[in-house]
Structure 1
Amino acid sequence: MNLETISTQADQLWLVILSTLTNPNTYAQVSIVLFVYLLAFWLARKIRNAVGLTHYEPDSSAHPMRKLAYRVGYLVYPLIALITLKVIIETVHNAGFSTWLLDTALTIAVLLFYYSMIRVLVVNTIAAKLFKWVGLPILLLHLTGSLSTVIVALEDISLTLGNVNITAYGVVRVLIFGAVLFWLGRASNSFGKDIIRKQESIDIRTREVFSKLFEVAVFCIIALLLLNVMGINLTALAVFGGAVGVGLGLGLQSIASNFISGIIILLDRSLTVGDFVEMDDGSKGFVREFRMRYTVLETYDGKDILVPNEKFISNLMVNWTHKDPKQRYRVDFSVPYATDIRSMVEFIKVAVAEHPSVISGPDVPFEERPDCEIDSFGDSGVNMFVEFWMEGIDDGKNRVGGDLMLIIFETLRENGIEIPFPQREVRILNEETFSVKSSN
């Protein structure tokens, strides 16, 4: 290409730009685009202010559908602009006028609407970047009509392995749709489980069952869609499905056992979220979450114990809060033999009953009120104990036992009672011999 050709093309481009700028139709289309976006902004503002779900921002404890409705409110503006532009373009095109500028504005509106959807609906940072840097170029190629050319070019890049033909387009399609389906599965699973767990009219065990079944259903649907995208014939899988099923049954029997055990636990109501359990191996904690394979126990020091579900079925388990959250505990202490036990017992009961976590009062049954009794006669004093009932577990955040030991110690000291400690009496049988050896 020589200088004369470049000069000619530049002159032609300038003539096109000049004719475009001097054409009244261009300014009419610019005016239409500005009017459409101003109208869309005004209508979107009116709609968001009129609808309570999109006007008031929900708090963190709101229903998931309420949060989704508020976020969707941000899509009203680009959606109205997109629909209005499309209607005007069809009208102007049918009237026989040029719509090249309106078509460009429509393409930009579609891209902006797609970007707004990513910003509003996609919370995960990695997924948002994937949709932006991969989805936007693909959408732009589709809107400009160049996507088919790119697909043909990718299909020409192929590799044959036996009877299998692998193309670059097939690999790219599987990667893109696989990533989208994986994100869609995780997002829909989390969103669906949040909705199920917000149903206060259903008891918590039934909600956990529905949540687990929903998780399995989403996993199966995503797996089937991914197989379809990969071009695998699902009918052919049925031929060797029986053999594969037997192999999986033998190799994954532990996983299957844990999954079935989790369903049984939820159905027989032996365990629920919030229960405090103690396993036969000594591990204990609060049940925080049921998963397909394991149950999460949270200890008092913030650690999560992942217990396989089948252990709750086959091993011994103590559920401290299965039927009644009230528990009885005991605090031991000693007093000297010279103590007036009868009077001491009464003021210890009163002191213990004043703790806010201890169940006490005239309306409480007698057997559940704080009680102080003699346990045994020790070497240094009388061994006493205090029994009390409380709501929940005496550990972690509720250190009631430690508080009561301090209360008992302070109460005894206020009443002039010393807690005895082991004492030994040493007697010297031959004092004269001891004195001579000491002087030497």
Structure 2
Amino acid sequence: MDFDLAGQPEIVQQAWGYGLQGWDLAKGWLLSPEAWSQFGLLLLAWFIAKLVNRKLQPVLTRWLTPPEGHLGLLSKARHFLRQFLPLLLPVLAYAFTGAGEAVVRSIFDSGAVIALGKRLFLFLAVRILVRDIITDPLFKMLGKFVLVPVAGLYVLGVLDLVQLRLAETIVPLGNLSFSVLSLIQFIIVGGIIFWMGRWSKDQSAALIHKNEDMRPATRQLAEKAAEIAIFGVAFLVFMNIMGIDLSTLAVLTGALGVGIGFGLQKIASNFISGVILLLEGQATVGDYVELDGGEAGTIIKMTARAAILESFDGRWIVVPNEDFIVTRVVNYSDQGSANRFEAPFSVSYDTDINRVPAIIEAAVSTHPRVLDAPYPPDCELRGFGESGVDFAVEFWVNGLDDGPNKFTSDVLFLIWNALKDNGIEIPYPHRVVELKADAAALAGQGVAPSAAGA
């Protein structure tokens, strides 16, 4: 098959040359006893691997399946290893093929076909790993678009050639230039390192949250410090692996400083305010706070820039951290300290008011959430109203009188029942109306002048 390709592009000529080499290699394999023997060994290795895999899979599955309810370190390790069982078949085939390759090379001094088979089994293992085992989105994407293509090139024996071409392809970017291979390595290494940083951050946060002896504010601060330290180390490791001189970051640092000075003042201020809040612990996750601007709610999350409040009606309010520093903040929770509330009521003027405090204090004390410390329920005389004598009972509880808790409502029910049980009347407004008019005019209308009360 001779064709004149002198007028064709260089890439066409190279492709034709590779095609001729492949055809000559295929003809050599088809007509060679050594090649047929290697094909036979490949089939034998695959058959033996399938038999061994069929016997080992049930045994390994039982051994690597932890008992129900066991969550220890050993159980987690067994569960982790069990997910790699789909790789057993191609790995066994690769191992048996390697043993056969040693025999073939000792007899025929050739092993190209069986070496191709080994690479093919390795490709199958990589494909199973990416398709069935890897679940993390980042690693799955890297496996699909990087690892599987690299394994395919390795099977075809052109991986070194492709690497050379990628290294020779230079991408100019202003005063900088880099190869396509360096860019691919940059993306892969950066993704892996920062994924490991995120995983380390999640593990450290879980460990910190298990320490219940620490105040919530201290736990938040420790978590943020660990996050900054982990990603800082990850960044330095990434720059070192990629061979980037850290002194080149001086210009970037200077530009960032100028940006903070002009456009990022609020962001920097909120970040520093967040650190101060975590250090001082004046407001942290779980506290119910009210700001001067009218924002009120329970802090459910504190970020580097703002705190997120959840109001009792379910709305989320994002409040910049700076507002907690420069404005007056009322913290109703203060990490479990008690809060005082009061319930007002009135009794009739016909009541012996000296009996009321003892009756009401005893009734309110029966509420399971009302505290005896710092003070027990205290019923006080507040004044003499138009319709009755005004009282109020003060009581202390752990929590807020809204949302899931209805302390004042419960106490008012207790007051009502206690007053009814003791025959004490709760007054309602009374008014006295006097009608004054000319007696003759009223007599002419058939109405007698009088004073009526209502």
CA positional deviation for 1:309: 2.7
CA positional deviation for 1:429: 0.8
Equivalent in the alignment of 1:234: 246
Q: Which runs of no fewer than 5 residues in structure 1 stay unpaired?
A: 2-7
Equivalent in the alignment of 1:94: 102
The 10-residue stretch of structure 1 (264-273 or 76-85) with the greater mean CA deviation from structure 2: 76-85
1:379-418 to structure 2, matched below 5 A, reads: 379-418=386-425
- The structure-2 alpha-carbon separation of the partners of 1:353 and 1:13, relative to structure 1 and needing over 3 Å to count, comes to farther
Equivalent in the alignment of 1:4: none
Residues 138, 147 of structure 1: 8 Å contact kept: no
- How many residues are paired up? 414
- The structure-2 alpha-carbon separation of the partners of 1:209 and 1:70, relative to structure 1 and needing over 3 Å to count, comes to farther
The 10-residue stretch of structure 1 (19-28 or 350-359) with the greater mean CA deviation from structure 2: 19-28
Query: Matches of 2:276 and 2:74 in 1, distance apart?
Result: 33
Equivalent in the alignment of 1:353: 365
Equivalent in the alignment of 1:220: 232
User: Is 2:255 the counterpart of 1:244?
Assistant: yes
Equivalent in the alignment of 1:256: 268
Equivalent in the alignment of 1:5: none
Q: Which runs of no fewer than 5 residues in structure 2 stay unpaired?
A: 2-22, 106-110, 448-454
Residues 280, 317 of structure 1: 8 Å contact kept: yes
Identity of aligned residues (%): 30
Aligned residue type for 1:423: H
3-state SS of 2:318 partner: strand
Which string of whole-angstrom CA distances, capped at 9 and with x for unpartnered residues, describes residues 305-345 of structure 1? 33333333333223333365222211111222112323343
3-state SS of 1:301 partner: coil
CA positional deviation for 1:380: 1.4
User: Is 2:151 the counterpart of 1:140?
Assistant: yes
The 10-residue stretch of structure 1 (422-431 or 145-154) with the greater mean CA deviation from structure 2: 145-154
Equivalent in the alignment of 2:341: 329
User: Is 2:348 the counterpart of 1:304?
Assistant: no
CA positional deviation for 1:384: 0.8
3-state SS of 2:350 partner: coil
Larger Rg: 2
Normalising to structure 2: TM-score of the pair?
0.73
Equivalent in the alignment of 2:437: 430
User: Is 2:75 the counterpart of 1:75?
Assistant: no
- The structure-2 alpha-carbon separation of the partners of 1:264 and 1:67, relative to structure 1 and needing over 3 Å to count, comes to farther
Query: Matches of 2:90 and 2:226 in 1, distance apart?
Result: 35
- The structure-2 alpha-carbon separation of the partners of 1:279 and 1:47, relative to structure 1 and needing over 3 Å to count, comes to same
- The structure-2 alpha-carbon separation of the partners of 1:111 and 1:202, relative to structure 1 and needing over 3 Å to count, comes to farther
- The structure-2 alpha-carbon separation of the partners of 1:24 and 1:91, relative to structure 1 and needing over 3 Å to count, comes to closer
- The structure-2 alpha-carbon separation of the partners of 1:411 and 1:103, relative to structure 1 and needing over 3 Å to count, comes to same
3-state SS of 2:354 partner: helix
Query: Matches of 2:40 and 2:443 in 1, distance apart?
Result: 129
The 10-residue stretch of structure 1 (378-387 or 400-409) with the greater mean CA deviation from structure 2: 400-409
- The structure-2 alpha-carbon separation of the partners of 1:142 and 1:265, relative to structure 1 and needing over 3 Å to count, comes to farther
Query: Matches of 1:241 and 1:336 in 2, distance apart?
Result: 78
Residues 328, 389 of structure 1: 8 Å contact kept: yes
CA positional deviation for 1:358: 1.4
Query: Matches of 2:117 and 2:67 in 1, distance apart?
Result: 34
- The structure-2 alpha-carbon separation of the partners of 1:435 and 1:209, relative to structure 1 and needing over 3 Å to count, comes to farther
The 10-residue stretch of structure 1 (338-347 or 97-106) with the greater mean CA deviation from structure 2: 97-106
